[in-house]
């Protein structure tokens, strides 16, 4: 019995240590990111992406409101002018399903910034189009780059904002998606009437085609005497 006493004491001590280890409280998990920790830089990124989606949708309605003047400027017929809007819409429909895969290939930041720059560049290039084929090609590329801005804006809202602030970001996205088609014809008509026709600041594609001036002809002397 005396020889077994140290063994029994060691076993009892081991059991006590095990019980203490089991009763020890588990470490608390790291607290979730608070909604108050959203930085101004994050909100700026979300607002910028939402503004890009707003402009991509707005560009459809602005051109539709000014389509008659654009057709006259580039010499397009009534039936052919519809391709100016159709090419933009088809390019957007094609690129939106591909945006998720392309963002994984090039990274969201590079893909979004590149297409935002291309969208601005080809928006300006459309004002320099001289005929219908040029306008259709430029509008298609513009729609291909502008269509990327719509799904990536939604992606940034979901990934950058915490769950408590995502409804605010989604509300901004919903406003951009619904307000742009509503205000687009008004802005397009205003720009056509005031900007393009008055100051010609929107580029030659907005201006209606002007009839060539005929050379002035002098009236014969006999007719001038009769009229006098």
Measured between alpha carbons, how far is 33 from 105 in angstroms, rounded to an integer?
28
Measured between alpha carbons, how far is 49 from 151 in angstroms, rounded to an integer?
10
Quote the radius of gyration of the chain (alpha carbons, Å).
33
The CATH number for 52's domain is 1.20.1250.20
The answer as to whether 76 is a domain residue is: yes
Of 36, 46, 38, give the one whose Cα is nearest residue 157.
46
The full 3-state SS of 12-51, as one line of letters, equals HHHHHHHHHHHHCCCCCCCCCCCHHHCCHHHHHHHHHHHH
Q: What is the pTM of this model?
A: 0.66
The answer as to whether 72 is a domain residue is: yes
Give the domain extent around 176. 40-199
Report the number of distinct structural domains present in the chain.
1
The predicted pLDDT at position 185 comes to 82
The predicted pLDDT at position 20 comes to 55
The predicted pLDDT at position 191 comes to 80
Which is more confident, 78 or 49?
Answer: 49
pLDDT digits (tens, 9 = 90+) for 11-35: 555 554 555 545 544 445 434 444 4
pLDDT digits (tens, 9 = 90+) for 181-228: 888 888 888 887 776 554 444 444 344 444 344 444 555 555 555 555
Measured between alpha carbons, how far is 126 from 120 in angstroms, rounded to an integer?
10
Is 74:129 a contact under the CB 8 Å cutoff?
yes
Cα 181 to Cα 26, 56, 177, distances in angstroms: 55, 10, 7
Measured between alpha carbons, how far is 86 from 76 in angstroms, rounded to an integer?
14
Q: Quick count: other Cβ atoms within 10 Å of Cβ 63? A: 20
């Amino acid at each position: 019995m005396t020889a077994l006493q140290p063994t029994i004491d060691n076993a009892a001590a081991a059991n006590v240590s095990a019980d203490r280890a089991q009763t020890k409280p588990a470490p608390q998990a790291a607290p979730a990111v608070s909604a108050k920790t959203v930085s101004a830089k994050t909100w700026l990124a979300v607002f910028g992406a939402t503004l890009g989606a707003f402009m991509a949708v707005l560009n459809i309605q602005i051109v539709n409101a000014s389509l008659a003047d654009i057709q006259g400027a580039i010499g397009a017929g009534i039936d052919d002018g519809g391709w100016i809007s159709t090419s933009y819409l088809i390019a957007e429909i094609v690129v939106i399903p591909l945006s998720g895969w392309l963002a994984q290939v090039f990274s969201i930041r590079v893909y979004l910034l590149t297409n935002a720059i291309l969208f601005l560049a080809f928006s300006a290039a459309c004002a320099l189009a001289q005929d219908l084929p040029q306008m259709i090609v430029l509008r298609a590329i513009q729609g291909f780059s502008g269509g990327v801005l719509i799904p990536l804006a939604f992606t940034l809202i979901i990934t950058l904002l915490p769950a408590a602030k995502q409804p605010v970001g989604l509300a901004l996205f919903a406003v951009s998606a619904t307000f742009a088609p509503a205000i687009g014809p008004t802005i397009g008509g205003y720009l056509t009437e005031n900007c393009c026709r008055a100051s010609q600041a929107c580029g030659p594609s907005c201006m209606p085609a002007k009839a060539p001036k005929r050379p002035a002809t002098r009236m014969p002397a006999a007719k001038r005497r009769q009229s006098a």
